[in-house]
Amino acid sequence: MNLIKYILFLVSFSAFSQVEKVAYPAIIVYQVDTLLAFTTDQGRKLSVLNEERKECIEINKDLIKQKEEYQITIREKDKQLTNLTKVKADQDTIINSLNENLSIAKTQRDVVTNQRNNQRAYKWTAIGVGSFTTLFMSYLFITK
Amino acid sequence: MMLRKINYMTAGVTVLIMACLYLMVKMFALMSQNEQNQQMTNKIIKKIEKQNDSIIASKTAHIKTLLSENQKSQKIIDASSKRIHQLENSIDSIRLAFRRRKKEVEQLSDKELGKYWENEFN
């Protein structure tokens, strides 16, 4: 008889401890409302998570703005790069033109130098021929 | 005999003078032609130089425009970098503020927690 009492006690105790171990969050029907119940510790954790969510939303807004700014920077840098490529091409053209001008100037200088040398040669030839003719005519005049 | 010799010499000198005259005339003709060629060459050279100078001037102006565009772009980039820096600072301050807020929320009493959630849903 005592054994039966003891067994009943154990069963009722285990049933009581099961009631104590209700896991939260739990759904509770209170009057006409169905409630989702959390413990206060869980509530605190949820509020921290909620604050983290808010933080993420705020940071996300700024990150979207930053992304836009980076896109602007990239676009402008690309523009600069294109312009610098064009500048390089223009400078190459200028260098070619200047080289052409330089080569023309060199050719002109060569032509002028050549002309000067020819004029010198003509001058000395004329002096030689003139002197020879004068001397010869003088000789003829004297020996006549 | 002497007279004959002189006559030969005179003839020789005459031929020489004629040859000289011929060469001089030819030289003057060639010089004239050379001068004409030179004038033509100078004209062509001046034309090429003018063309090159015009190319150089236009390209220099183009380079100036491109560099001025680059300067404008640089200003935009600088302004953008400034804004990026400000946003970074803003993100840091947000993080700092929420770190404080999270600590506060962790330490809320039961009553304050209730109010907190009440505020969140209203």
Average pLDDT over residues B39-59: 92
ipTM of the complex: 0.71
- Cα torsion B41, B43, B47, B50: sign: positive
Angle of helix B2-106 versus helix A40-143 axis, rounded to 10: 170
Distances in whole angstroms, Cα of residue B54 to Cα of each of A89, B5, B115: 16, 71, 80
pLDDT band at B12 (very low <50, low <70, confident <90, very high): confident
> Is B94 within 8 Å of A59 when comparing Cβ atoms?
yes
Distance (Å, rounded) from C-alpha B122 to C-alpha B119? 5
Residues of B in contact with A122 (CB under 8 A): 27
Residues of A in contact with B56 (CB under 8 A): 94, 97-98
Instruction: Write the pLDDT tens digit of every residue in B65-84.
Output: 999 999 999 999 999 999 99
State the pLDDT at residue A70.
Answer: 97
Whole-prediction pTM value?
0.69
State the pLDDT at residue A7.
Answer: 52
State the pLDDT at residue B8.
Answer: 83
Average pLDDT over residues B20-40: 89
Give the residue on B whose Cα is nearest the Cα of A47.
Answer: B105
**What distance in Å separates residue B71's CA from the closest CA in chain A?**
9
Between B1 and A118, name the one with better pLDDT: A118
State the pLDDT at residue A10.
Answer: 46
State the pLDDT at residue A137.
Answer: 86
Q: Which residues of chain A have pLDDT under 50?
A: 3, 8-13, 15-16
Distance (Å, rounded) from C-alpha A36 to C-alpha A26? 6
> Is B81 within 8 Å of A73 when comparing Cβ atoms?
yes
State the pLDDT at residue B34.
Answer: 83
Average pLDDT over residues B10-36: 88
Average pLDDT over residues B96-109: 95
The average confidence (pLDDT) of chain B is 92
State the pLDDT at residue A8.
Answer: 46
Q: How many CB pairs under 8 A join A and B?
A: 127
State the pLDDT at residue A43.
Answer: 94
Contact between A76 and B73 under an 8 Å Cβ cutoff? The reply is yes
CA atoms within 13 A on the CB side of B94: 19
Distances in whole angstroms, Cα of residue A117 to Cα of each of A110, A120, A124, B24, B26: 10, 5, 11, 18, 19
**What distance in Å separates residue B46's CA from the closest CA in chain A?**
10
> Is A91 within 8 Å of B101 when comparing Cβ atoms?
no
**What distance in Å separates residue A33's CA from the closest CA in chain B?**
17
Interface of A with B in 24-63 (CB under 8 A): 40, 43-44, 47-48, 50-52, 54-55, 58-59, 62-63
Residues of B in contact with A62 (CB under 8 A): 87, 90-91, 94
**Nearest beta carbon to residue B66 from set A55, A83, A140:** A83
Write phi, then psi, for A26 (nearest 5 degrees). Answer: -135, 155
> Is B60 within 8 Å of A94 when comparing Cβ atoms?
yes
State the pLDDT at residue A22.
Answer: 76
